Amino acid sequence: MINAQELASFYDKDGYAPHELIDSFITQEFYDKLLDSFPPDELFQDEFPATRKRNQRPHCRRFMCYHVTPQSRYFEPYFVDVKQLPELWQELCDYILYDREYRDWIRDTLLIEDFHIRLDFHRTAKGLDVSPHVDSAGKYGSHLFYFTPKDWKEEYGGNTVFYKGKKIQAMNPEPEDFTENIYYPIIGNKSLLFKNVPHGWHGVKQVDAEGMHRQLFNVVILKK
């Protein structure tokens, strides 16, 4: 199901959050089937908050999540039962949550001990982005699996962006408030693991795809 591998340059990112883009972490045959059966839109709810911490712009998308450990009450409106998901996605969720190989890989790569997992699903429409932010202290990191539609083009955006060199003191910066940024392609069988650190500013480039959503499966690694 997966091709776990050592990420030799994960911590060698020169001022950015530790991260690595991984090709074909999921075996290609299984990935293709997952893409074809990505959970239907009716399982998602609009997440369009009015405000965000530190006066940052709200992050708006279609959202749902699945978890087996206690979570903040914030996520209750977005929770789905795993049995509501397509069968192949149920299989992947069970693997991520319970398989020792994956959990050991996360533990060894992020240099952490025990942790919880929440599984998030995002669908982001045209005109939306994610402003630069640092994740909350309760998060060790995220493993993002991209399931962009087959007709997606690079100019449609939706890339995860890492920033460094913040030029202002305020904690609600915009992309132009950084001296440098880096982003990676999200088309095809790719995933991206990153570690949450105090300087780990990141966001998402604006989506510019008519009639398509940026589709993402996010393994959120949380402190116990």
For 18, what's the count of Cα atoms within 13 Å in the CB-facing half-sphere? 16
Query: Helices 87-98 & 28-36, crossing angle to 10 degrees?
Result: 130
Are 200 and 148 contacting, i.e. CB atoms less than 8 angstroms apart? no
- For the chain, how big is the Rg over CA atoms in Å? 17
Are 45 and 77 contacting, i.e. CB atoms less than 8 angstroms apart? yes
Which residue's structure tokens are 């990141």?
202
Share above pLDDT 90 across residues of the chain, in percent, rounded to a whole number: 92
Tell me how far apart the alpha carbons of residues 95 and 116 are, in angstroms, rounded to a whole number.
Answer: 14
Confidence grade of residue 55 (pLDDT, cut at 50, 70, 90)? confident
Confidence grade of residue 53 (pLDDT, cut at 50, 70, 90)? confident
Segment 171-192 shows an average pLDDT of 97
Tell me how far apart the alpha carbons of residues 12 and 31 are, in angstroms, rounded to a whole number.
Answer: 28
Indicate whether 54 pLDDT > 90: no
Taking only the tens place, the pLDDT of each residue in 150-174 is 999 999 999 999 999 999 999 999 9
Indicate whether 50 pLDDT > 80: no
| Cα 106 to the center of its chain, rounded Å | 15
Q: What are the boundaries of each domain within the chain?
A: 19-222
How confident is the model at residue 52, as a pLDDT?
A: 80
Confidence grade of residue 51 (pLDDT, cut at 50, 70, 90)? confident
Specify the CATH superfamily of domain 19-222. Answer: q2cbj1_9rhob like domain (2.60.120.620)
Segment 120-126 shows an average pLDDT of 98
Average pLDDT of the chain, as a whole number: 96
pTM reported for the whole predicted model: 0.96
How confident is the model at residue 152, as a pLDDT?
A: 98
Confidence grade of residue 58 (pLDDT, cut at 50, 70, 90)? confident
Ranking 28-37, 44-53, 80-89, 116-125 by mean pLDDT, the lowest is 44-53
